[in-house]
Copies of this chain bind each other. A is one copy, B any other.
Amino acid sequence: MIDDFQGWARSHQARIETSLEALIPTAKLSPERLHDAMRFSVLGGGKRIRPLLAFAAGELSAADEDRVTIAAVAVELIHAYSLVHDDLPCMDDDVLRRGKPTCHVEYNEAIALLVGDSLQSLAFQLLAEYRLADTPQVQLDMIKRLAQAAGSRGMAGGQAVDLVSVGKTLSLPELESMHIHKTGALIRAAVMIGACCGNSLNDSQLKNLDHFAKYIGLAFQVVDDVLDTEATTATLGKTAGKDADNNKPTYVSILGVKQARELSEELRQDAYQALEVFGSAAVRLRQLTDYIIQREF
């Protein structure tokens, strides 16, 4: 089953890579340097966790994989834009990402700013351009969902809270609230948008899927914090120990590594429970849950 999952993950990661290659403008197209920097920032790296979640969620609604691919690309573009902006000197000021120099190091700050801005526009362009759902109205709902997840009440808002929390002691609920926005919102959007590409789910299914997505989003962050403490820069492909250096509150700084690991295990159980209603259709989501908890980078 593990082998089977790895094959599935690899083939879908390849599918996303091919589609990102095709859907981001070629560097031969003007403005060449901007397009080159967009491709540098998105292609050839990343675990593509959000796209995999979208594909796995699409299996719950028997969604066409071509549709899910575009939706997954849009979510990944939003994620990639957030990394480029997050790495800028005025934010986390990081020089290494996915084992390569960050965009502003390889190009310059102005280009990195425009890369992020352009990737966000491209995400919404794709969601509006291709046929992704049974009706245009469902597609509008998908766009609304991704925009909310990206904006001031979602990911960007979580980053704003993250900025002011440096050096502060946060309570566990405060930390959780920050991460529900900063990383959780986009992970939830990936899951829900993937499912929207297929047959419509009933209210109970949607509610359970949203609960699942919330648990898996938190688990992802808890594991990220543990890895930031325990792994090496070489393994992570980004600067390890950065959170502690920046005096940022993390699950590890509040709970310690052991309790943080226990929390991730609890969240796995919660996630599994939320998937029960889907039976065997949720096999990929369960495998992804295990992968997210057990990953080593």
B-contacting residues of A (Cβ < 8 Å)?
Answer: 25, 29-31, 33-35, 38, 81-82, 85, 88, 90-91, 108-111, 113-114, 116-118, 120-122, 124-125, 127-129, 135-137, 139-141, 143-144, 147-148, 150-154, 156-157, 159-161, 163-164
Q: Which residues of B contact A30 (CB under 8 A)?
A: 157, 161
Indicate whether A156 sits within 8 Å of B110 (C-beta atoms), given known contacts A128-B140, A139-B136.
no
Cβ-neighbour of A25 out of B140, B147, B153 (below 8 A): B153
Q: Which residues of B contact A139 (CB under 8 A)?
A: 136, 140
Oligomeric state, in copies: 2
Least distance between A145 CB and chain B CB atoms (Å) = 8
Q: Which residues of B contact A109 (CB under 8 A)?
A: 90
Indicate whether A156 sits within 8 Å of B117 (C-beta atoms), given known contacts A90-B108, A110-B91, A136-B139.
yes
Considering the chains assembled together, what is the distance between the CA atoms of A286 and B29 in angstroms?
35
Cβ-neighbour of A156 out of B88, B114, B143, B160 (below 8 A): B114
Considering the chains assembled together, what is the distance between the CA atoms of A33 and B156 in angstroms?
12
Considering the chains assembled together, what is the distance between the CA atoms of A30 and B160 in angstroms?
10
Q: Which residues of B contact A156 (CB under 8 A)?
A: 34, 114, 117-118, 121
The answer to whether B120 touches A120 (Cβ under 8 A) is yes
Indicate whether A128 sits within 8 Å of B144 (C-beta atoms), given known contacts A30-B161, A110-B90, A117-B85.
yes
13 A-B residue pairings within 8 Å (CB atoms): A34-B160, A81-B117, A90-B108, A90-B113, A114-B159, A114-B160, A117-B120, A118-B156, A122-B147, A127-B143, A135-B136, A139-B140, A143-B143
Considering the chains assembled together, what is the distance between the CA atoms of A29 and B153 in angstroms?
9
Least distance between A157 CB and chain B CB atoms (Å) = 5
Least distance between A275 CB and chain B CB atoms (Å) = 28
Considering the chains assembled together, what is the distance between the CA atoms of A35 and B164 in angstroms?
14
Considering the chains assembled together, what is the distance between the CA atoms of A96 and B25 in angstroms?
34
Besides the known contacts A110-B163, A114-B159, A124-B147, 16 further A-B residue pairs in the complex with CB atoms under 8 A apart: A29-B153, A31-B157, A34-B156, A35-B152, A82-B117, A90-B113, A116-B117, A118-B157, A121-B147, A121-B154, A121-B156, A125-B143, A125-B151, A128-B143, A135-B136, A140-B140
The answer to whether B144 touches A129 (Cβ under 8 A) is yes
Q: Which residues of B contact A144 (CB under 8 A)?
A: 125, 128-129
Task: Using CB atoms, name the residue of chain B closest to A34.
Answer: B160
6 tightest Cβ-Cβ pairs between the two chains A and B: A121-B151, A125-B147, A136-B136, A90-B109, A128-B143, A118-B152
The answer to whether B124 touches A143 (Cβ under 8 A) is yes
Q: Which residues of B contact A151 (CB under 8 A)?
A: 117-118, 121-122, 125
